[in-house]
Amino acid sequence: MSKYNTLWEYLQTNANAQIKLTFEEIHNILGFDIDHSFLNFKKELTPYGYSVGKISLKEKTVMFNKNV
């Protein structure tokens, strides 16, 4: 079980083609801030029907794209 499973499960319950979450929204879902290790864990998201798109440090957002 990954420390990001709560986020992956949250995304899985969403039907949108794209979901843009702020770092703060992700913190509220997970209970902790994402860090550099997020890049290593993002491959775990594929079985949940999404992939990580653009990560904007300037806007402090992460775009998640539904797999087709």
| Beta carbons of 42 and 54 less than 8 angstroms apart | no
pTM: 0.91
Cα dist from 39 to 3, 4, 7, 16, 31, whole Å: 13, 11, 14, 22, 18
pLDDT in tens, 34-44: 999 999 999 99
Please report where in the chains the tokens 């300037």 appear, as a residue: 58
pLDDT in tens, 1-22: 789 999 999 999 998 999 999 9
Q: Which amino acid is at 60?
A: K
